[in-house]
Structure 1
Amino acid sequence: MKSIKNICCIGAGYVGGPTMSVIAHKCPHIQVNVVDINQHKIDLWNDKDLSKLPVFEPGLQEIIAETRGRNLFFSTKVDQAIDQADMIFISVNTPTKTYGKGKGQAADLKYIELCARDIARVATSDKIVVEKSTLPVRTAQTLQSILHNTGSDVHFEILSNPEFLAEGTAIDDLLQADRVLIGGNDTPTGQKAKTLLSEIYENWIPKERILQTNLWSSELSKLVANAFLAQRVSSINAISALCEKTEANVDEVAKAVGLDSRIGSKFLKASVGFGGSCFQKDILNLVYISRSLGLNEVADYWEQVIIMNDYQKSRFANTIISEM
């Protein structure tokens, strides 16, 4: 495998757009093609009026203005971008299943599988395929099954590179990442692929912050990180209910607890509960995986975080109704 000169990202959404923009910004020697079958979304990414970008994040417009048309391109030409790429990022949506086995908890991988089939159909040269979407552990096995049974001589090396972005700070999260996680096979070609992806991030991230693991550790780490953060929100919300009954001040309790260096102050703000697109989806996924492996007590523990979150929302609504 030679150094990476051309990157394709399938999925021009909240993760794909900003991530590829930062890579193009920091790696002007690499051509980055972001592709999506949604023509309207691509048109917004290409609009001269940068206020119309489909994603709003502080700092994104400035990076798009510098890189778009230079080495960053948005299009619907999926097959062409796949064929030309040395490395392909899969950054499509993985919603919670609304039907079949795992309904309401498991991740729906249909878009991931469609991407794999497109890559397998189009590719004529060896590719590194990078999971960027948040995925359940062992998803790479599904990708390998699809990609390695194409009947062609193309070799696909699969990596896991989960994102750790928060709404409102995504660009800073990318530029000043706490860590970059790269999972891959512990084989000579797998190690080479991990090194090539690491070299891209090393253009702006210190090498000591880039952690290389096996595939399964990387996939699971993203779910666990979100689960731990959500668990902290639910924990402090549980304490907020206790504070209201005892006349303690939850903000003061949170400050006192957060000053313990073993715990830290982040995600200890009592509120209506956590929302967003990741925490609930990822915890439910973790619950489903645990239960499907026969780990019912583990599943019950993490499911309680969701129950606590729902309780906090109901408690807040009931308080409003009572006060009115």
Structure 2
Amino acid sequence: MAVIADKCPDITITVVDINKERIDAWNEENLEKLPIFEPGLSEKIKKCRGQNLFFSSEIEKNIQCADMIFISVNTPTKKKGLGAGQASDLKWVEACARQVAEFATGYTIVVEKSTLPVKTAEVIKNILAASQTNLEKTNKSFDVLSNPEFLAEGTAIKDLEDPDRVLIGGENQNAIDILSNIYNNWVPRKKILHTNIWSSELAKLTANAFLAQRISSINSISALCEATGASVSEVSRAIGSDKRIGSKFLDSGPGFGGSCFKKDILNLVYLSNYFGLPEVAEFWEQVTILNNWHQHRISKLIVKKLFGTITEKKICILGFSFKANTNDTRESSAIVICKDLLEEGARLSIHDPKVSEKQISSDLGVEPIAKENYPANKENNYGGWEFHSDILTAAKGSDAVVVLTEWEEYSTIQWDLIAKSMRKPSWVFDSRSIVVKEKVLKAGLNLWRLGDGN
């Protein structure tokens, strides 16, 4: 919405939410305190907020005056009931549709922006249609469009300003053209694709599934490289130069995370089973199974390298967000790996330049432990963790440093200084292949790099 406001100064945009605290944060004068960190976002907010971009908790009022409404709420995987563990929970989408049906006036275009399973538009259309039972009294009419987002966190602004494509699915060409004209203010017409609404919904799930599949594929090869003496970076370069394959999403790492990949694949699995395609479901489910295996593989490898036990050993964790240039930790590999290490009794010292101590505590389900109180869980042999804002302090006295997020500052660490403060023999576990190998070895540290069999 910030990008649309920037590119279309004649359009007034209001972002609404039932969470007033969240809205207050978006109206925060100090742009450093915005709820989401995304490179370039604060500049857009500063330029447009109060001009044609507004944040409000007055939902009814803003629905009434809207010509177009984007439904952009969360669609998490269901935790219980029919389809639990795979199907998307659409309760927030339904709640939004009911609010729109109740408060909208005149003609309104409703746009699915959330990542949704195929046929969700049918649910929205039915709810909206129910509000039109007496057209003479209500004077309401609606069109529903699907307009999924294909951006990546960390490069979201760039992805929006120069997209590979904009996808709009719908049944009414006039409604499609109205939304197309908004994007056409900065996106070439040839990049704006029109489909039916079901193809648009499925395209988003499929795109995420294909990207996640590439990540699981190259991570499976990284394990084979380690076993055979090959280098996954060299293998990636070799196959990525093939035009039929391409080089994108062939960087090995600790596994995919974020709000979409796992959720969308599981949704695809559920839909495939629902429509009687168990072989298709099994194929896509294997992508998430391998991702989980890979994350636990890294945890086990750390324990193995540290003489088979990490009880009361200090391990420095560098990076907790699921990728660099975001403070998003949803489905982050760091959560799984850190929980594994805590189960083994380790004392974790965690650093991340953008993720807060409060968020880490929420994700791990364990409060941090002050140094003087450690160890705190002797009876069950469960470890503890502490947060540090300085890398050198975080690594001091540690047996190992584990790089889990590809933050740029981790690629320029002075390993000679780090090595002096670590307990010998010391290890560096680089799951992102971003540290300078020669500098780590020269500092007298042992190095394990994902997919490096040398």
What's the TM-score once normalised by structure 1's chain length? 0.92
In structure 1, which of residues 215, 230, 241 is the aligned counterpart of residue 197 of structure 2?
215
Residue 222 of structure 1 and its aligned partner are, at CA, apart by: 0.4
Which residue of 150, 167, 182 corresponds with 1:181? Answer: 167
Q: For 1:274 and 1:250, how far apart are their aligned partners in 2?
A: 17
247, 256, 263: which is aligned to 1:274? 256
Deviation of residue 246 (structure 1)? 1.1
**For 1:263-302, what aligned pairs fall within 5 Å after superposition?**
263-302=245-284
Counterpart residue type for residue 169 of structure 2: G
Match of 1:129 in 2: 110
1:124 Cα deviation after fit: 2.1
- For 2:254, what is the secondary structure of its paired residue? coil
Q: Choose which of 10, 17, 37 in structure 2 pairs with 1:36.
A: 17
Contact 2:6 2:44 survives alignment (8 Å): yes
Q: Map of 1:1-324 to 2, 5 A cutoff?
A: 20-150=1-131, 151-153=133-135, 154-185=140-171, 190-324=172-306
Task: Count how many residue pairs are aligned between Structure 1 and Structure 2.
Answer: 301
Judge conservation of contact 2:215–2:250 (CA < 8 Å) in 1. Answer: yes
Alignment partners' CA distance in 2, 1:250 and 1:164: 27
Q: Distance in 1 between matches of 2:160 and 2:253?
A: 27
Aligned AA (2:104): A
In structure 2, what is the Cα distance between the partners aligned to 1:31 and 1:322?
Answer: 58
Q: Aligned partner of 1:86: which letter?
A: D
Does the Cα contact within 8 Å between 2:66 and 2:104 map onto a contact in 1? Answer: no
Distance apart, 1:311 and its partner CA = 1.2
Q: Percent of aligned pairs with the same residue?
A: 61
- Residue number in structure 1 paired with 2:433: none
The separation in 1 between residues aligned to 2:253 and 2:37, in whole angstroms, is 24
Q: Which has the larger radius of gyration?
A: 2
- The residue number in structure 1 matching 2:372 is none
How far the C-alpha of 1:62 sits from its partner, in A, is 1.0
Q: Which amino acid aligns with 2:61?
A: Q
1:152 is displaced (CA, Å) by 4.0
C-alpha distance in structure 1 between counterparts of 2:236 and 2:194, whole Å: 34
* Contact 2:65–2:105 (Cα < 8 Å) also in 1: no
Offset at residue 226 of structure 1 (A):
0.3
Q: Give, in whole Å, the separation in 2 of the partners of 1:165 and 1:318.
A: 33
Contact residue 88 and residue 117 of structure 2 kept, 8 A: yes
1:2-24 per-position Cα deviation (integer Å, ceiling 9, x unaligned):
xxxxxxxxxxxxxxxxxx11111
Structure 2, gaps ≥5 residues long: 307-454
**Aligned-partner Cα distance in 2 for 1:240–1:232:** 12
Counterparts of 2:153 and 2:63, CA distance in 1: 29
Contact 2:71 2:96 in 1 (8 A): yes
Q: Deviations over 1:114-151 (max 9, x none)?
A: 00000111112110000000000110000011000112
What letter is aligned with 2:127?
A: I
Query: What is the SS of the residue equivalent to 1:255?
Result: helix
Q: Structure 2 CA distance, aligned partners of 1:284 and 1:144?
A: 25
Relative contact order, CA 8 A, sep 6+: which one is greater?
1
Runs of 4+ in 1 over 6 A off after TM superposition: none
Residue-by-residue CA offset, 1:223-263 (whole Å, 9 max, x unaligned): 00000000000000111111111111111001100000111
Letter aligned with residue 254 of structure 2: V
For residues 43-72 of structure 1, give each alpha carbon's deviation from its aligned partner in whole angstroms, at most 9, with x where no partner exists.
Answer: 111111111111111111111111111111
CA distance in 2: counterparts of 1:21 and 1:202, whole angstroms: 16
Q: Deviations over 1:169-197 (max 9, x none)?
A: 11111111110000001xxxx10000000
Which stretch of structure 1 is more off in the superposition, 307-316 or 196-205? 307-316
Q: Structure 2 CA distance, aligned partners of 1:310 and 1:124?
A: 47
